[in-house]
Amino acid sequence: MAEKNIVCHGAICMCNFGAAPDKLAVKSHKKEFINDKNGSKKMIATDKELGATFEKNTFGPCQKQPIPGGGYKPCQAVVTKWSGFYKNVTLENKGKILVEDSKATCPIGGTDCIKITFHGQVAQPAPSQAKKEKKEVMTAINPLVDMDELEEEETPNYS
């Protein structure tokens, strides 16, 4: 089984019947974080993110709600349940962790009509990771940093 990313606050979601994405807002807890060194922004999303749990709570015009004479009613995103979550871990809020292929159900769009298009995590390399990498690789990635100079700055002088 392939490795799946954990979903967090700010993940991008899209409805099969909408026209615009919306960001997931984790509201079920304020305690467990991922990919956030300060522990203040990237709360882990769980299957307890129910109801109006998006930033704008709309995916644009809803193709499931046509208006007589043309057009569609605006989507009012409401999650009634999640599927495809990671069942082996339960967070403090009694929720199961959402992963990047989890899907949500909306009463209008139906079962699994809302999918996650971006899990919300962003790589934040630390200086300790750069020190572990080969100098040639780091020079190719970032030619403006002199790795020899960086090593000298971080080596303590005990004389």
Give the list of residues 6+ apart from residue 127 with CB closer than 8 angstroms, or none.
154
Instruction: Give the distance from CA 28 to its chain's centroid.
Output: 15
Quick one: what percent of the chain has pLDDT higher than 90?
65
What is the C-alpha separation between 40 and 122, in angstroms, rounded? Answer: 14
pLDDT at 83: 98
Stretch 131-155: mean pLDDT, rounded? 68
pLDDT at 34: 87
Give yes or no for a contact between 131 and 154, defined as CB atoms under 8 angstroms apart.
yes
Stretch 61-71: mean pLDDT, rounded? 95
What is the C-alpha separation between 59 and 19, in angstroms, rounded? Answer: 6
pLDDT at 12: 98
Q: Is the pLDDT of residue 157 over 80?
A: no
Stretch 55-74: mean pLDDT, rounded? 96
| Both structure tokens of 59 | 């995916």
How many CB atoms lie under 10 A from the CB of residue 138?
17
Confidence label for 63 from pLDDT (cuts 50, 70 and 90): very high
Q: Is the pLDDT of residue 33 over 70?
A: yes
Q: For the ranges 2-11, 74-83, 133-142, which has the lowest average pLDDT? A: 133-142
Nearest to 56 by CA among 28, 79, 24: 24
The most confident of the ranges 29-33, 110-114, 155-159 is: 110-114
* Average pLDDT across the chain, whole number: 87
pLDDT at 154: 52
Phi, psi of 136 (to 5 degrees): -65, -40
Give the list of residues 6+ apart from residue 140 with CB closer than 8 angstroms, or none.
none
Q: What is the pTM of this model?
A: 0.76
pLDDT at 140: 77
